Amino acid sequence: MDRRDVQSSALHNIGDVHVVSHVWSGIHVSDIRVTALPGRAWHPLNSDQPVLSVVVNELNGQCEARLSLSAGNTFRQSGRQRPAGHISLIPANVPVWGYSEDIDQVEEVRLVLDIDRVKEIMGEEFAAAPLQEPRLVFNDESIQALARLVVSSEDKAEWSSLFGDGLVAAMVARLSHLNSLPTRNHRRLGLSTRQLSAVTEYIRDNLANPIRLSELASLADLSPSQFGRAFKTSTGTTPHLWHLDARIETAKRLLTDPRNRLAEVALDTGFSEQSHFTRAFRAATGVSPGAWRRDVTH
């Protein structure tokens, strides 16, 4: 990564910076590994959009988010030992620093939220307040789990719009809950038979195409975040996983015909590459598409 991408003029005592980034569903997701030099080190965390920073690993030391670099050494003053996974929410254009003293390495998952996209996903349930006040160095298992899901995913190229939209909705809803701002019209109601039928038929008709949560929500006349909850109440799973399961089941049907090549089956079920298809199929069934075909056709 070119250090100019993280405002090199504001970096202090930073050694190597390694970043793997992906943009989807209105969020810029970065898995960042920073190696610090001995002594005090800092780098900016702020952006022109809200930032959610989750520290997933600290090697031989501690770090924290600070509004001011002039603060004393809060690590020794407080005597506290925080578990890895502490979180900081930084509103748009609020200067906040990632600060450490004598730490070897920090791994951070940083999510920059597109506020307009968040509004679209949350609909009438959107509450801006949780994203307008800084909340630094707190812990929450739900947000930490979502961050771990982001960094542990082996095949980020196959992240779907449905998955991304659901992740954004879950994170913003959780932040609202933590700030004691219940979302409006938050009801644990499922979809009607008509709604569920329209949605599942649409998914089956578009297996090879990217599907946004907003598309499915419009079929049910709900906001995307309301739809996500209602769909899970009705089916026991998320729209993303239902879509993926439907693709895998269709792939199984196509694989029973020996005339269908694996690459064609992959494309017909929405996988951009055969390798992506193989990984998803193996994760769902425990075997590769080729092995599954041999088992059912012999």
Question: How far apart are the C-alpha atoms of 210 and 257, rounded to whole Å?
Answer: 25
Instruction: Please report, for residues 57, 84, 101, 114, 161, the alpha-carbon distance to residue 60 in angstroms, rounded to integers and kept in the order given.
Output: 10, 12, 10, 34, 37
220-253 burial string, b = 16+ CB within 10 Å, else e?
Answer: bebbbbbbbbbbbebbeebbbbbbbebbbebbbe
- Helical spans, DSSP H, in the chain: 74-78, 115-122, 141-152, 161-178, 193-205, 213-220, 224-235, 239-255, 262-268, 274-285, 289-297
DSSP assignment letter at 153: -
- Report the percentage of the chain scoring pLDDT > 90: 33
Amino acid 158: pLDDT: 56
Contact 57, 84 (CB under 8 A): yes
Q: pLDDT tens for residues 100-117?
A: 888 999 999 998 988 888
Q: Do 214 and 226 contact (CB within 8 A), yes or no?
A: no
**pLDDT at residue 21, as a whole number:** 85
HSE-CB at 106 with a 13 A cutoff on CA atoms is 28
> Taking the model in full, what pTM does it have?
0.67
Say what the pLDDT of residue 6 is.
Answer: 40
pLDDT at residue 33 tops 70: yes
Identify whether the C-beta of residue 296 lies closer than 8 Å to the C-beta of residue 255: yes
User: Helix %, strand %, coil % for the chain, to 5?
Assistant: 45, 20, 35
pLDDT on residue 3 = 38
**CB proximity list for 8: less than 8 A, separation 6 or greater:** none
Average pLDDT, the chain: 82
The tokens describing 135, both together, are 């909340």
User: How confident is the model over 204-262, as pLDDT tens digits?
Assistant: 999 988 888 889 989 999 888 888 889 989 998 889 889 999 999 999 999 999 999 99
Residue pair 100/63 in contact by the 8 Å Cβ criterion: yes
pLDDT given for residue 276 in this prediction: 87
Please determine, for residue 269, whether its predicted confidence score (pLDDT) is greater than 90: yes
pLDDT at position 277, please? 92
In tens, the pLDDT along 132-152 reads: 888 899 988 888 888 777 766
| H-run or E-run covering 19 | strand 14-24
User: Picking from 137-146, 183-192, 272-281, which range would have the lowest pLDDT averaged per residue?
Assistant: 183-192
In one-letter notation, the amino acid at residue 156 is: K
